[in-house]
Structure 1
Amino acid sequence: MLELKQINKSFNGQPVLVDINVTIEDGKTLAIVGPSGAGKTTLLRIISGLETADSGTMIWNGQPTTAQALRKEGVIGVVFQNFELFPNLSVMRNITLAPTLQGVDQKKADETARKLLDRLELVAQENAYPYSLSGGQKQRVAIARALALNPQILLYDEPTSALDPLLRENVAALVNQFKASGMTQVVVTHDMDFAESVADTTYHVGKGGDGQ
């Protein structure tokens, strides 16, 4: 279980997050929702270690920690809003790059990637490059890349923002599939219908940066 307590963040003196308290339960899916500009993505970036809170505490399984430490330990994986795939690398290499940089044998990384490609219905795209993929395929490659590091918590930043309604349903099905397998997930979204279709619990971030 991951707990965030009294998280505060300001930019240029303007409060973005104020006294945020969030509990991310093991095996559950938490949706972080709220209006545009409320700080949802900032909160996700703090959880992922891409942004540092001004104050507050993060607790992992009862022990104080930092998001940076959790990323280094492979606890957290991130699926970015704009996918952030490397355009000069094939789908396979996009998925295997991070594991091999962390010392995983190339053959083992390839085996894991192929299992993920099969699971996410991307086998035919193994040697394709990002420019040739549809939005839904890019989304699934981004998910596969995050899963390749075998994280305990998977974070999604607006996973349906660039997708049409049918693909949104496909992403919801994937999130629920991962939940059924025991994956802990956090989804930042402005799409309340999507949030309701995947979340066990919902955390609302308000315009003033406060949450509930």
Structure 2
Amino acid sequence: MLELKNITKRFGAQTVLDDLDVTIEDQKTLAIVGPSGAGKTTLLRIIAGLTPADSGTMVYNGAPTTAAALRKQGVIGVVFQGFELFPNLTVLKNITLAPTLQGVSAAAAERHAERLLAQLDLIAQADAYPYSLSGGQKQRVAIARALALDPQVLLYDEPTSALDPNLRQSVAELIDSVKQQGMTQVVVTHDMEFAKMVADATLTVAKQGSESNEA
């Protein structure tokens, strides 16, 4: 279980997150919702160790930690809103790049990537380049790339925003299939209907920095 306690973040004179508590339960999906500008993505970036909080603490499995430490340990994986695939690399290379940079052998990284491609119905796209993929395929490649590092917690920033609305159901099914394999997930979304489809619990963040938790 990952807990964030008394998280505060300011940008200049503006307080975006004010003394926020978040509990992310193992093998569950938490949706973070709220209006634009409320700090949803900021909170996600704090969890991911990409943006520092001004104050607050993190606890992982009962032990105090930091977002930077969790990121270094590979606990956290991130699926970015714009996918951020490398356009000059094939799908397979996009997935194997980070593991090989971390010391995994090319052969082992490819075997793992091929399992992920099969799981996500992307085998036929292994040698394709991102420009040739549909939005839904890019989303699945981005998820495969994050899963290639074997994270314990997978974060999604607005997973449906760059997709045709008709793909919302397929993305929800994909997130559910990842959960069924035991993955803990956090989904930032402005889409309340999508949140209801995927979430075991919901955290609503308001612009004033107030929040509420709903099971």
Q: Shorter chain as normaliser: what TM range?
A: over 0.9
Residue deviations 1:29-85, cap 9 Å, x none? Answer: 000000011000000000000000000000001111111110110101000000011
Q: Using the alignment, how far apart are the partners of 1:123 and 1:157 within structure 2? A: 25
Give 1:1-212 correspondences, 5 Å limit. 1-212=1-212
Gaps of 5+ in 1: none
Q: CA deviation at 1:165?
A: 2.7
Residue deviations 1:128-178, cap 9 Å, x none? Answer: 111111111110000000000010000000000011233111110011111
Count of residues paired in the alignment: 212
Q: Using the alignment, how far apart are the partners of 1:93 and 1:180 within structure 2? A: 26
- SS in structure 1 of the partner of residue 32 of structure 2: strand
Q: Using the alignment, how far apart are the partners of 2:182 and 2:21 within structure 1? A: 23
Q: CA deviation at 1:180?
A: 1.5
Q: Give TM-score scaled by structure 2 length.
A: 0.97
- SS in structure 2 of the partner of residue 172 of structure 1: helix
Q: Using the alignment, how far apart are the partners of 2:49 and 2:96 within structure 1? A: 22
Q: Using the alignment, how far apart are the partners of 1:111 and 1:98 within structure 2? A: 14
Q: Using the alignment, how far apart are the partners of 1:58 and 1:13 within structure 2? A: 24
Q: Using the alignment, how far apart are the partners of 1:121 and 1:143 within structure 2? A: 12
Percent same amino acid at aligned positions?
72
Q: Using the alignment, how far apart are the partners of 2:81 and 2:165 within structure 1? A: 16
Amino acid at match of 1:7: I
Amino acid at match of 2:30: L
Gaps of 5+ in 2: none
Q: Using the alignment, how far apart are the partners of 1:127 and 1:135 within structure 2? A: 17
Q: Using the alignment, how far apart are the partners of 1:179 and 1:127 within structure 2? A: 27
Q: Using the alignment, how far apart are the partners of 1:89 and 1:13 within structure 2? A: 42
- SS in structure 2 of the partner of residue 182 of structure 1: coil
Amino acid at match of 2:83: F
- SS in structure 2 of the partner of residue 64 of structure 1: strand
Q: CA deviation at 1:28?
A: 0.4
Q: Give TM-score scaled by structure 1 length.
A: 0.98
Amino acid at match of 1:200: D
Amino acid at match of 2:98: A
Q: Using the alignment, how far apart are the partners of 2:205 and 2:123 within structure 1? A: 38
Q: CA deviation at 1:209?
A: 2.1
The Cα RMSD (Å) is 0.7
Amino acid at match of 1:64: P
- SS in structure 2 of the partner of residue 23 of structure 1: strand
